Amino acid sequence: MTQPPRPRRLADEAYAGIVQLIVSEDLQLGARLPSETHLAERLGVSRAIIREALARLQSDGLTQARVGSGSYVTRRPDRLLARHLPLDEIAAAFGTYEVRFVLEPEAARLAALRHGLEDMAGIMACLDALKQALLSGQSADGEDMALHRAIMVASGNIAFVAAFDALAHGTGQIMRAGVDIARSRPPEIIRTMLSEHEEIVEAIHLRDGERAALTMRWHLSQGRRRLTPIA
């Protein structure tokens, strides 16, 4: 039976509202956000909701709290992010990273330990397709998604595949935005993205589970940072 859509959480709305404030008022690195009281009044929510939103913004690296002083901007969403990700969906989409940080490093570790010849061939084919798409200027999010999913399959646990598929909407938005933003920056950024994927695949091929997990976690952390550059 199809479940009805879940209502958007107030903390998600507050998160999006604060991001909108950072963007619309062009708050730069180091700028102080309005007080919790002011934000609560402006966004029409309680201070408790604002505190939850600020905690998540800090966890995502966008702000930093200073005791007795308030919260300050540490990173800004890239201007191209809104092409792929409406600001009112940013909290949910960034929230997929919290799940992916748990899911994908472990899947990569298991893929390194368990993959068969067919699994590895599938991963290599996906990597080749991603390389061609990234270096030719084509849309590469489908190829990116296919590679990450092939690693889920190679883990030998269908639960990883099901969990990854459940995140497909938010992950797809993030991947499309990530490629678009990378292409707006110096060319070496695309090469760095490709290198991160190559290192993950190499670790899996060498059956080095711990390295596969670490390189996957690094790739995810860098991907999130590319969406919110400092400058």
User: Which domains does the chain show, CATH number per domain?
Assistant: 10-73 (1.10.10.10), 89-227 (1.20.120.530)
d(CA 108, CA 11): 32
* Helix (H) or strand (E) run with residue 124 in it: helix 117-136
> Which tokens is 221 given?
């952390």
Residue type at 19? V
Q: How far is CA 78 from CA 83, 107, 135, 218, in A?
A: 10, 29, 22, 20
* Helix (H) or strand (E) run with residue 153 in it: helix 141-154
Q: How far is CA 223 from CA 15, 68, 154, 163, 193, in A?
A: 20, 32, 22, 20, 8
Query: Please, is 80 exposed, middle or buried when counting C-beta atoms within 10 Å of its C-beta (0-12, 13-18, 19+)?
Result: middle
Task: Let me know: does 74 contact 225? Beta carbons within 8 Å.
Answer: no
pTM of the model: 0.84
d(CA 128, CA 83): 27
Q: How far is CA 92 from CA 85, 99, 136, 148, in A?
A: 10, 11, 31, 20
| One pLDDT digit (tens) per residue for the chain, 231 residues | 333 344 458 988 999 999 989 988 889 899 999 999 999 999 999 999 999 999 999 988 899 999 889 999 998 888 788 788 887 788 888 889 999 999 999 999 999 999 999 999 999 999 999 999 999 988 899 999 999 999 999 999 999 999 999 999 989 989 999 998 888 888 899 999 999 999 999 999 999 999 999 999 999 999 988 888 764
